[in-house]
Structure 1
């Protein structure tokens, strides 16, 4: 896992570009880049009905997933992945469909500097057990 001295530019130029940026960041182990795709007040669904709310919790969840090697298939820029966005004003619903038919959905919003970031991600980490906090509050790393 790497972090950068100068974090990757926040978000993407278009909501449908968030998916490919995510895959690129995962492939590079770029935790700052991954977190930069989410708004500071974003919420990411975790297994068992849990959620990571806010940048600190999202960073912890993705750090645990990267450390456990659990994002390989989730973030892989595999052939056949399609990304779409339905935009209404400053909000967008983004979806990606993998070759095996898995569909991921997120909600993105336009930032003040005309970039797009995810604000709600209900599917990316939902089945990644490594993201769950241990009973002590620390994230469990498998």
Structure 2
């Protein structure tokens, strides 16, 4: 825990770290940690076709997703496509589904997602 009582989360030093962190945090039911992977105005595509825009909506979406405590399985991370401060990441999941995300390098050198179109695969 940090000095202010909040849990400290490992930060993504490479865009590929985000996929590992999201899986770990989904399986731990760590909503705060999940929201910390996104820029404040990020957009998350939801399984029902809606989108969550911004930290508050992303938080609500993840609260619903992890409420049933599902188990998420890792996939095969695809090569990252990078240009300057943007990166396109993707993971191929079991059953053929694929996630697609856009991450941006932050001023401190860490990476956060700006756009996230996941495919939820519960194992």
- TM category (shorter chain) comes to 0.7 to 0.9
Q: CA deviation at 1:48?
A: 4.2
Q: 1:109 aligns with which of 101, 104, 107?
A: 104
**Correspondence for 1:130:** none
Count of matched residue positions in the alignment of Structure 1 and Structure 2: 118
- 1:100 maps to 2:101: no
Q: What runs of 5+ residues in structure 1 fail to find an aligned partner?
A: 128-142
Q: What runs of 5+ residues in structure 2 fail to find an aligned partner?
A: none
- 1:89 maps to 2:84: yes
- 1:32 maps to 2:32: yes
What is the distance in 2 between the residues matched to 1:7 and 1:42? 21
**Correspondence for 1:50:** 50
Which sits farther off after the overlay, 101-110 or 81-90?
81-90
The aligned runs of 1:123-134 (5 Å cut-off) are: 123-124=118-119
* TM-score of the two chains, using structure 1 as the length reference: 0.73
Cα RMSD of the aligned pairs, angstroms, is 2.3
What is the distance in 1 between the residues matched to 2:7 and 2:34? 14
Kept after mapping to 1: 8 A contact 2:43/2:53: yes
Runs ≥4 in structure 1, deviation > 3 angstroms?
A: none
